[in-house]
Structure 1
Amino acid sequence: MRGLFLLAVALGQPAMVSAGGIELHAHLFMKEGMSPMFRGDFFGPLKATSWRDRFSSQANPETLNASGLQVAVVSLYSHPVLTLSMRDSVRRQIALARKFVGENPEWILPRTAKEARDGVAHGKRLLVLSLEGAMGIIETEEDLKEFVDNSGIRIVTLLHLTDDLFGGVALLRGILGFASPIALVRSWFSGTRDVDGVLVNGAGLTEKGRWMARELIKRHVWLDLSHASDASQAELVPMLRAAGQPLLYTHTTLRRFLRAERGITAEQLQGVRETKGLLGVMPAEDMLLGTNSEGGLTALSAQAREIGLVIGADGVAMGSDYNGGVQHLHPSVGTGTSLDQEQGLWQIGQSGDVWRGLKLAPDPVVARFLAGWEKVDSTRCP
């Protein structure tokens, strides 16, 4: 904590804030994406009751409004088996986002960086549409026209949990690696590892993936690298740099602690610094494993501090994965916030308390996000 305070002072930023900040990865409408497995919906009461809940609603209009967030990136997701139509599922989620904004005029759904900056200047809060996993939803020119050009999706996590027609994904830790079973088994036999000995997926982008990446960049969509394998990133990163896009990892953790490809490497972190990109740290116990013995907010603070020392404190956002099937933070001690209560971090309305608990200044992060978005909007076609 003291290190974060000194870092904030050194960067000329206030160490304490009342609320605010930016959430880079929240599944507000997960009922539409995982219907039979998920309890509760966005326009109803919360169903989660503690930090341990994974598939119960952790967000609704009341808690989102109470979060103090200046920017909330809404991650649209559709399970390939649990939904009858992945595209229809995403269409319904976009309609729900529009409904929320229509009923809550302090929020807007910006399609461009200029709209976002003008909105902030007029006291508005930003709901930004993002898509996690393009396969089954955006695959064709017609899909690009519908979901990007017309519906306004501005961030895309091209690759998600399983190798697909677009390319290879980052292997998860432990048994979760079986989310991409073929890639995991193949990696066992190939023995492909990174410089620190972490097992990695040797599969990179496919030709279809290269085409899709180029098309998204051409349409000024910000590509999220969070789930891309090292091999996929080896192709994506040069494309993004050539186009002038800041590197974006909406929800990740440090690989040197996680010891799985899903975490970000020191080299990748340098790329975020060099391009003035952003990284969302995950307040999730499973993603903080190995950081320290305490876990929870203490581990999150340690990661935020280390990341901030590399990319700048204004590049550190939250990527909480609310409603995304992860356990959040166990109760903290001595913060004087709701995080100290027995439920721990369990719903999006506590976002301001997370920023306060970390003593991070949110305004510079929002400014860096808007500046990054402006670069994306002026993208050069690769």
Structure 2
Amino acid sequence: MIPVFDGHNDFIQRVVAAGANGSQVWLEGDGTGHLDLPRMKAGGMIGGFFAMWVPSPNGPNDDEAIRLMQNPPFAMPLPDEIPHDRALPHAFQQAAALRALERTGTLDVVTSAAGLRQSVAEGRIAAIMHMEGAEAIRDMDALHLWHAAGLRSLGPVWSRPTAYGHGVPFAFPSSPDTGPGLTDAGRALVRECNQLRIMLDLSHLNEAGFNDIAALSDAPLVASHSCVHAICESARNLTDRQLEVIADSKGLVGLNYASSFLRPDGKRFPLEELDVMLRHLDHLLEILGEDGVALGSDFDGALMPRDLADAAALPNLLRAMEPHGYGNDLITKIASENWISLLERSWGA
């Protein structure tokens, strides 16, 4: 089985919601969601980025939002900024939940590429602590504290404003050019993340913010869970110009499995054919090359394709790549090796 390292999941929210049963949800599953240890093992997953994220009162998975997204065109307004004092306790809960999974002996919170490879070699899940939206980081001293706690990947925004920048709304059809760039605090955050070698994630960031990070950052540019705007004109997807900027930095894009970011019609219904995912991969490969394309599922955070319903179904996607013309070496790069190589370039060996 080809190993898979994944660029993004929202599983930790389910662990927190389960309370005292959180570790049991991880170890045994609970019949819901997309990911747990048994399904990761069944799908060949060796690790991934485990996101900490603070929900907005009204989000894209609410009934009214789903109705709108099933009937494009739509343009959902950005949710309000989440105050730091509300975000911080939630982020602490999620970080603590991830560390609790580590105490089961089945998962390691990895902070180096060497540690990642060691965890995989020893049969444990290699988990990267990622923060999606930096509301829980008040200042640069707090960033250093989070780094000491294991944070190694940070998206300055989710799809709403923060003190650091502006996210893109859920909108189709729409350009990602939807608002202003980074704030002064956002520019300071980029510089400090570079110094600490915290990977910066461009997914959810608007185009002006993307441009600012591209100009400021000395690290490879990364969009952990994004798709191709030329195929699906969602504000969340990356234009060819953005993809070329990432390629020039020797960066990486992880393909998002969210059906509404894959489907050319932008509708929030399950993607019916994996061929559409292969079209996105083809386009990414054409611009980024074989070393710049990976996977970023968005498990437990989005509506999955019909034939990729959860982590256990990952072999369906990998099997579809071979008759499409991808050789074993390229499939292995996309599935795991490109992420590990990117982290070596971002973090150091």
Stretches of structure 1 that go unaligned for 5 or more consecutive residues are 1-17, 49-56, 178-196, 331-338, 340-344
Structure of greater relative contact order (alpha carbons < 8 Å, 6+ residues apart): 1
Task: Report what 1:363 is aligned to.
Answer: 332
Q: Distance in 2 between matches of 1:199 and 1:312?
A: 23
Stretches of structure 2 that go unaligned for 5 or more consecutive residues are 59-81
Aligned residue for 1:29, secondary structure, equals: helix
Q: Distance in 2 between matches of 1:121 and 1:275?
A: 30
Task: Report what 1:77 is aligned to.
Answer: 53
Q: CA RMSD in A?
A: 3.1
What per-residue deviation string (whole Å, max 9, x for no partner) do you get for residues 215-255 of structure 1?
22211100000111111111101212xx2x11111111111
Task: Report what 2:145 is aligned to.
Answer: 146
Indicate how the Cα distance of structure 1 residues 270 and 297 shifts in structure 2: closer, same or farther if over 3 A, else same.
Answer: same
2:280 to 303, 306, 309: 303
Q: Which amino acid aligns with 2:340?
A: L
Bigger Rg, which one: 1
How many residues are paired up? 311
After superposition, where does 1:1-382 map in structure 2 within 5 Å? 18-31=1-14, 42=26, 45-48=29-32, 57-81=33-57, 85-105=86-106, 107-120=107-120, 125-135=125-135, 137-149=136-148, 151-174=149-172, 198=175, 200-240=177-217, 243=218, 245-290=219-264, 295-324=272-301, 326-330=302-306, 339=307, 345-359=308-322, 361-365=330-334, 366-378=336-348
Q: Distance in 2 between matches of 1:63 and 1:122?
A: 19
Indicate how the Cα distance of structure 1 residues 199 and 92 shifts in structure 2: closer, same or farther if over 3 A, else same.
Answer: closer
**Residues 29 and 41 in structure 1, CA contact (< 8 A), matched pair in contact too:** no
Q: Distance in 2 between matches of 1:348 and 1:318?
A: 12
Q: Which amino acid aligns with 2:161?
A: D
Please give the TM-score of this superposition, normalised by the length of structure 1. Answer: 0.72
Q: Which amino acid aligns with 1:92?
A: Q
Indicate how the Cα distance of structure 1 residues 152 and 204 shifts in structure 2: closer, same or farther if over 3 A, else same.
Answer: same
Q: Distance in 1 between matches of 2:305 and 2:273?
A: 5
Please give the TM-score of this superposition, normalised by the length of structure 2. Answer: 0.78
Indicate how the Cα distance of structure 1 residues 20 and 238 shifts in structure 2: closer, same or farther if over 3 A, else same.
Answer: same
Indicate how the Cα distance of structure 1 residues 34 and 80 shifts in structure 2: closer, same or farther if over 3 A, else same.
Answer: farther
Aligned residue for 2:142, secondary structure, equals: helix
Identity %: 19
